[in-house]
Amino acid sequence: MSATAHTPGPPAPDTGDDTGFGTDTGTASGTAADAAAGTAAGPADLPSPRAPRPAPPAPADLAHPAGLAPPAAALPPIPALHSSVIDWFDEHARELPWRRPDAGAWSVMVSEFMLQQTPVSRVLPVHEQWLARWPRPAALAAEPPGEAVRAWGRLGYPRRALRLHAAAGAIAERHGGQVPDDHAALLALPGVGEYTAAAVASFAYGRRHAVLDTNVRRVFARALTGVRYPPTATTAAERKLAHALLPEDEATAARWAASTMELGALVCTARAPACVRCPIAAHCAWRLAGSPAHDGPPRRGQTYAGTDRQVRGKLLAVLREATGPVAQEELDAVWHEPVQRARALDGLVADGLVEPLPGGTYRLPLT
């Protein structure tokens, strides 16, 4: 319940378990921060979770992908694997606004940005407010970037708002205000990386792409390679496996991408996988191996209290609520430690999230 240029980074927090389509954080998907935008009146979206699904691929796709750790005998034929997961999705997928048949590509794009490292429950109200205010990319592009930061609220990682604003401007200028349906054109948008380009092309336009977010990578790691967690950054082997598993039919491939992502979000979660509810538990290599513990580097969640991130959030909260420039004294009041406070403010200015003005005042950026 999701979008970001792409360089590996430190592990993302496990809030990705509750994403709607996916995350794009360079940690979760092997790509760095993406940004993108689309139109509220785009072509038909991915079929709704209850809609009839396309026929499975032809029998020629029965071969198991090469290079899997578990014995081939542990796996059903690939079309049966597709059917099991997609059938589960048809019955259990969440009703999310960006999945509605009339949602449009812009809704999908906005959701992808917002769901990066942010759970669905926090994204839903902001997504609704965002689409009500900016139903199309051109509407967002016409506003100052600081308004995007203001409307972002407390979703966290507010640079995503600036990237989304920049991408909206490029869509308005280059594509007539319509989110492009071509993967290469999506990838050429400012800030858009491999994950977001693939996710939007797949979820908004039903195209055939391997969409690898944290949830999908975890499902594949457990079910097909027999390990509890995937590597910190996406590997070439993971991409090869994802492409080997991709249905040939475009509509089925798009459905498979959404289905595996939802399976990871709702059932094959990071901390407490619900194997009794998994449609492919009988074939899961990790479960058949006795659910071995993770043997890689410790997985640590990101702390927040007392960090520069917390200070940045407090400073931005003052600026978001202000109707005009904010004096230094007002910002000084939000955090007791002056060195950390100054460092956080300098970081916000360097990131383009805050604009310093003459006389020691600050505001959200206008350009």
Could you tell me the strand order of the sheet in which 355-357 lies? Answer: 326-327, 361-363, 355-357
Token pair belonging to 278: 């998994």
Active site residue 330: no
Cα 311 vs. chain centroid, distance in angstroms?
25
Q: Which segments of the chain does DSSP mark as H helices, in order?
A: 78-92, 105-114, 120-133, 137-141, 145-152, 159-174, 183-187, 194-205, 214-225, 236-245, 250-266, 285-288, 308-321, 328-332, 338-350
Annotated active-site residue in 91, 112, 128, 248: 112
DSSP 8-state assignment for residue 107: H
Other Cβ atoms within 10 Å of 73 Cβ, number = 7
* Residue that is written with structure tokens 């995937």 in the block: 230
8 A C-beta contact, residue 262 and residue 93: yes
Nearest to 30 by CA among 13, 7, 11, 12: 7
Instruction: Give the integer Cα–Cα distance in Å for 292 and 343.
Output: 43
Distance from C-alpha of 234 to C-alpha of 252, rounded to nearest angstrom:
24
Residues with catalytic roles: 112
